[in-house]
Amino acid sequence: MIIEPRMRGFICLTAHPVGCEQSVKNQIEYVKSKGAIDGAKKVLVIGASTGFGLASRISSAFGSDAATIGVFFEKPPMAGKTASPGWYNSAAFEKEAHKAGLYAKSINGDAFSNEVKRETLDLIKADLGQVDLVIYSLASPVRTNPNTGVTHRSVLKPIGATFSNKTVDFHTGKVSEVSIEPCAGDDIENTIAVMGGEDWAMWIDALKAENLLAPGANTVAYSYIGPSVTEAVYRKGTIGRAKDHLEATAFEISDSLADINGKAYVSVNKALVTQASSAIPVIPLYISLLYKIMKAEGIHEGCIEQIQRLYQQRLFTGGEVPVDEKGRIRIDDWEMREDVQAQVAQLWEQATTENLAEIGDLEGYRKDFYNLFGFDLAGVDYKAEADEMVQVESIA
């Protein structure tokens, strides 16, 4: 069928298989162009189908010739209805990995559940024996705790006071004022339950209990800090509490891995357009200004550039992994550069509907957003019929 983007609010209901494949191929080419990385060889990526997790899987496979197992939660296609983008990304990734002679298998299901953990442990046991790197890159609005059966929903709200600031509807370019009411009730606890470190620790405990972590194995989860304009709704809001919990969990996991000489890291990554970040008010305006400055400075990065740099210049240098005073790896260093932030803050004051297209990178934002769904990629013929029924090779 001919597949076009169909928007509803901040989400796109369709995805283009050929565009997603092109996006994955572009990322593979980028990693290859940067040379070999002396990294992990058997890698489990939890949240492997889009964003930073997909970039991690690609960086391991095509930077270090690693065998990868990817876990994700994506919608397969149905006749006449496209799959979710992560499904097509994973299909393309496996196809390219298999062509390159690399082991790659995937598990599609709820990573928070005992069943998917069981299935993953069994697959590692049968095929790889052990893994030496576990990337934890889930982004989800909801989690059912398998031990209690309670379903928690995360919220993106400030704590204590209403937050008002500028935002942009990136479809129309309209800049307006938004007010976000503070969280209430169990919002903080629920957000921590979904996006904090509990499930990460459960994964590592389960792997360790069955001796599936190789000596010296590392695990990495991703976090965000960001600027003062987004602080109330992000780092000092409910999601920030979850990130605090995730970061604290890294120390607990490291303690539990001491006997196998393993370590848990949190890497603080840069703000990027993903399905999740588009839905947070204020963030799209910040990102469109940030992109403009970082592109002008020649330091703009997407997920793949970020993770390739994380691997080559932080995790796998052969030396000590550089961390900040809180033990975190920082690949948001260029975003947080003082000169970059000073310029963004200045533009923030000026931004209006009338000038945003000029002072901000609204076009770049939109392009990245469309690219997430496989649209607007160079070299893809969107007028041609595309087969929506593309399958992930390892998933029956």
Q: Per-residue DSSP letters for 331-390?
A: S-TTTT-HHHHHHHHHHHHH--TTTHHHHS-HHHHHHHHHHHTT-S-TT--TTS---TT-
What are the beta bridge partners of residue 104?
A: 68
Q: Is 138 annotated as a binding residue?
A: yes
Q: Is 47 annotated as a binding residue?
A: yes
Q: What are phi and psi of 77, to 5 degrees?
A: -75, 160
Residue nearer to ligand NAD on the CB measure, 132 or 301: 301
Structure-token pair, residue 230? 């987004």
The residue assigned the tokens 């509490």 is: 241
Q: Is 374 annotated as a binding residue?
A: no
Contact letters (x/-) for ligand NAD, 216-255, by CB under 6 A? ------xxx-------------------------------
DSSP label at residue 393 = T
Residue nearer to ligand NAD on the CB measure, 111 or 285: 111
Catalytic choice (88, 136, 234, 265): 234
Q: Is 212 annotated as a binding residue?
A: no
Give yes or no for a contact between 210 and 260, defined as CB atoms under 8 angstroms apart.
Answer: no
The closest of 291, 348, 372, 359 to 167, measured between CA atoms, is: 348
Residue nearer to ligand NAD on the CB measure, 224 or 373: 224
Residue 91 binds: one of Na ion, ligand NAD, none (C-beta under 5 to 8 A by kind): none
Residue nearer to Na ion on the CB measure, 105 or 292: 105
Residues 6+ positions from 148 with CB-CB distance below 8 Å: none
Residue nearer to ligand NAD on the CB measure, 87 or 163: 87
The closest of 329, 158, 328, 309 to 229, measured between CA atoms, is: 158
- Separation between Cα atoms, residue 310 and residue 321, nearest integer Å: 10
Q: Is 243 annotated as a binding residue?
A: yes
Q: Is 111 annotated as a binding residue?
A: yes
Piece of 65-73, 249-257, 361-369, 387-395 that binds ligand NAD (CB under 6 A): 65-73
Neighbour order of strands in the sheet with 67-72: 104-108, 67-72, 42-46, 131-136, 213-223, 263-268, 329-330
Give yes or no for a contact between 33 and 59, defined as CB atoms under 8 angstroms apart.
Answer: no
Residue nearer to ligand NAD on the CB measure, 93 or 348: 93
Q: Of 14, 23, 27, 50, which lies in the binding site for ligand NAD, with binding defined by CB under 6 A?
A: 50
Contact letters (x/-) for ligand NAD, 132-171, by CB under 6 A? -----xxxx-------------------------------
3-state SS, residue 96: helix
Structure-token pair, residue 367? 């392009």
Q: Between residue 76 and residue 135, which ones bind ligand NAD under the rule CB under 6 A?
A: 86, 110-112
Output the smallest distance, CB 52 to Na ion, in A.
5
Q: Is position 265 annotated as part of the catalytic site?
A: no
Residue sitting closest to ligand NAD (CB): 51
Residue 362 binds: one of ligand NAD, Na ion, none (C-beta under 5 to 8 A by kind): none
Cα–Cα separations (whole angstroms), residue 295 to 5, 51, 127, 287: 26, 20, 43, 12
Q: Of 178, 202, 260, 276, which lies in the binding site for ligand NAD, with binding defined by CB under 6 A?
A: 276
Cα–Cα separations (whole angstroms), residue 62 to 44, 264, 371, 395: 15, 23, 21, 21
Q: In terms of C-beta density within 10 A (0-12 exposed, 13-18 middle, 19 or more buried), how is residue 261 classed?
A: exposed
Output the smallest distance, CB 316 to ligand NAD, in A.
19
Q: Is 200 in the site for ligand NAD (CB under 6 A)?
A: no
> Annotated binding site, which residues?
47-52, 73-74, 110-111, 138-139, 224, 243, 272-274
> Annotated binding site for NAD(+), which residues?
47-52, 73-74, 110-111, 138-139, 243, 272-274
**Residues within the interface to ligand NAD (CB under 6 A):** 47-53, 71-74, 86, 110-112, 137-140, 222-224, 269, 271-272, 274-277
Which residues are identified as catalytic?
234
